[in-house]
Amino acid sequence: MSDFLKHCTPWPEALAGEYRRKGYWRGQTFSALLDERAEQYGERLAVVSGQTRWRYRDLAAEADRLARGFSALGIGPKDRVVVQLPNCAEFFAVIFALFRMGALPVFALPAHRKLEISYFCQHAEAVAYIIAGQHGGFDYRNLASEVKAVSPGLQHVLVLGDAGPFTALHDLPDGTLPAPPEASDVAFFQLSGGSTGTPKLIPRTHDDYIYSLRGSAEICQLSPESVYLCVLPAGHNFALSSPGSLGVFYAGGTVVLSNNSSPDHVFPLIAAERVSVTALVPPLVPVWLDAAASLKPDLSSLKVVQVGGARFNSEMAARLVRELGCTLQQVFGMAEGLVNYTRYDDSDALVLHTQGRPISPDDEICVVDDEDQPLPAGEVGHLLTRGPYTIHGYYRAAEHNARSFTADGFYRTGDLVRQTAEGYLVVEGRAKDQINRGGEKISAEEVEHLLLAHQGVADVAIVAMPDAFLGEKSCAFVIRRDASLRAVELNAYLRKLGIAAYKIPDRIEFADAFPKTGVGKVSKKILRQIIEQRLLVASQSG
């Protein structure tokens, strides 16, 4: 067994056999899928991004050119490649090129910085890192130089646009393609929202992911006429596959990309491209609704707005339906697998007050207490799940896997849910040590570890605090060694280390000691209450 495979946990044979027998896993790879679509829908528009308009045949041809180029550089099957591109047509050409040759993209977010990217490169032993030269006022080539200096296995930095000292994507040599991968092979790595010291990589296979696309495309009634606007980061699981861009390609529709989610930019795009469906995180919804009320844009083509990634309150849900006059679809999913949708013909009660039900009849849902015992129907408990597109293990994380999965292979989502009589899930809270900052996930432990390494910090605990706009923000409680240490210094320290800006604590509260639980652990529950109370008092006096 290769080293690589040793680090990926396959589905147990009995389940895999069942998923194949039931026709969920059909033995198709992404490469074969794109070829099939290029054959069927060659002249139809696949991707729109700025001035770029690619038909399916253009996308397939560009993926082919890149695959030959990657191959000529020496990138081969099973090689890991960290992909950090903004929302652009080339993102899809790059990933389909890697799929075609059986190389494995790791989907980094544009917001990731030195610490995260070097960790992905080192942990995945990546041979290549693919970036846009410059984007959003940030020079990724500088980042790449820093990453390269600490990642000995990284052989290639490939750049979209002006490559500087690196290799330009538009100027690759021509090579020959290796034998294609198998559908049961890992196709790429998603990133976990995480609740541990280091981010976790999620291996997804062609078989399992394509099943989730097919299921999603069906539920979302996608067709070649569908036009999907992608404003969330294209590599995130929601925007990629729920149904996301790949679900739209599955159906032969068109993906319109934007790096800017602001109404001024997006409303004219919706009108011009006749966008029919889009996906938002909750904080974007009031921004769009307020702007729609004053700008009165032409949104007549827009039939469905999906909202997911974080808790969406039911008043805002009702406002969306009322004011935009389109169908709301709540989406509760996770990069590890399981995705739930409200359905288009569901009652208002289900659409406004639940986060939907699973894609597959074979998604197993268990709601359990702290001792893993099943709870009576309708009670709130930990959500465990297993199914045809939910992983059985993170990549190279044996110890963590023992905690994150039950002995019979159920994934511990860390979400607290209840299941309605109709089988719909309502997300009631979270047991995992994570902050959900308007859909962006922060692992408390990851940032705590970094702060603890600062010489002025004796102890630290990071918790979520309520925020009117984002739903939650992060608050770091810090015990100082030195009373002169200031919050700005800690923030500057984190920024200098190189972490994504959204992980930098929104607020730092200094403390002399932490409240403890009965067993002597830091009580984050009490810390959350303390900061909530302080914010309340501040808002009343301010």
Nearer to ligand OOB, 95 or 331 (CB): 331
331 in contact with ligand OOB (CB under 6 A): yes
Subset of 416-455 contacting ligand OOB (CB under 6 A): 427, 430, 436, 441
Residue 90's SS3 state is: helix
Candidate residues 309, 381, 388, 393; the one interacting with ligand OOB per rule CB under 6 A: 309
Nearer to ligand OOB, 492 or 501 (CB): 501
335 in contact with ligand OOB (CB under 6 A): yes
* Per-residue interface string for the shown chain with ligand OOB, residues 191-220, x marking contact by CB under 6 A: --x---------------------------
Residues 6+ apart with CB under 8 A from 299: 267, 270, 271, 292, 324, 326
Of 157, 96, 105, which is closest to residue 128 (Cα–Cα)?
157
Residue 190 CA to residue 246 CA, distance in Å, equals 14
We find the least distance from the C-beta atom of residue 278 to ligand OOB, in angstroms, to be: 13
Nearer to ligand OOB, 69 or 439 (CB): 439
Candidate residues 9, 195, 216, 237; the one interacting with ligand OOB per rule CB under 6 A: 237
365 in contact with ligand OOB (CB under 6 A): no
Subset of 164-193 contacting ligand OOB (CB under 6 A): 193
Nearer to ligand OOB, 63 or 246 (CB): 246
Subset of 310-329 contacting ligand OOB (CB under 6 A): 310-312
Candidate residues 327, 355, 404, 474; the one interacting with ligand OOB per rule CB under 6 A: 355
Q: Supply 80's token pair.
A: 């890991």
Candidate residues 96, 332, 389, 405; the one interacting with ligand OOB per rule CB under 6 A: 332
Nearer to ligand OOB, 215 or 333 (CB): 333
Part in contact with ligand OOB (CB under 6 A); list of ranges 290-298, 304-312, 392-400, 461-469: 304-312
Candidate residues 208, 363, 415, 448; the one interacting with ligand OOB per rule CB under 6 A: 415
Nearer to ligand OOB, 264 or 422 (CB): 422
Residue 467 CA to residue 113 CA, distance in Å, equals 25
Residue 94 CA to residue 111 CA, distance in Å, equals 19
Q: Kindly report the CA angle at 231 between 291 and 58, in degrees rounded to 5?
A: 135
DSSP 174: -
We find the least distance from the C-beta atom of residue 281 to ligand OOB, in angstroms, to be: 8
Q: What is the DSSP string of 368-413?
A: E-TTSPBPPTT--EEEEEE-TTS-S--TT-HHHHHHHB-TT--EEE
Nearer to ligand OOB, 263 or 309 (CB): 309
CB burial class (10 A; 0-12, 13-18, 19+) of residue 453?
exposed
* Nearest-CB residue for ligand OOB: 333
Nearer to ligand OOB, 120 or 238 (CB): 238
We find the least distance from the C-beta atom of residue 297 to ligand OOB, in angstroms, to be: 26
333 in contact with ligand OOB (CB under 6 A): yes
Helices 114-123, 140-150: crossing angle, 10 deg rounding:
50
User: Where does residue 104 fall: left (phi above 0), alpha (psi -120 to 50 degrees), or beta otherwise?
Assistant: beta
Count how many Cα atoms sit within 13 Å of the Cα of residue 172 in the half-sphere of its side chain. 27
Instruction: State the sign of the Cα–Cα–Cα–Cα dihedral 313, 316, 321, 324.
Output: negative
Residue 371 CA to residue 435 CA, distance in Å, equals 24
Part in contact with ligand OOB (CB under 6 A); list of ranges 4-12, 24-32, 234-242, 492-500: 234-242
Part in contact with ligand OOB (CB under 6 A); list of ranges 87-95, 307-315, 363-371, 481-489: 307-315
Residue 152 CA to residue 157 CA, distance in Å, equals 13
Residue type, 276: S
Residue 204's SS3 state is: strand
**Range 394-406 burial, b when 16+ CB lie within 10 A, else e:** bbbbeebbeebbe
We find the least distance from the C-beta atom of residue 159 to ligand OOB, in angstroms, to be: 27
Candidate residues 11, 238, 389, 395; the one interacting with ligand OOB per rule CB under 6 A: 238
Nearer to ligand OOB, 267 or 411 (CB): 411
Residues 6+ apart with CB under 8 A from 491: 504, 505, 508
Residues 6+ apart with CB under 8 A from 166: 141, 144, 156, 157, 158, 159
246 in contact with ligand OOB (CB under 6 A): no
308 in contact with ligand OOB (CB under 6 A): yes
339 in contact with ligand OOB (CB under 6 A): yes
Where do contacts with ligand OOB occur on this chain (CB under 6 A)?
Answer: 193, 237-238, 242, 308-312, 330-335, 339, 355, 413, 415, 427, 430, 436, 441
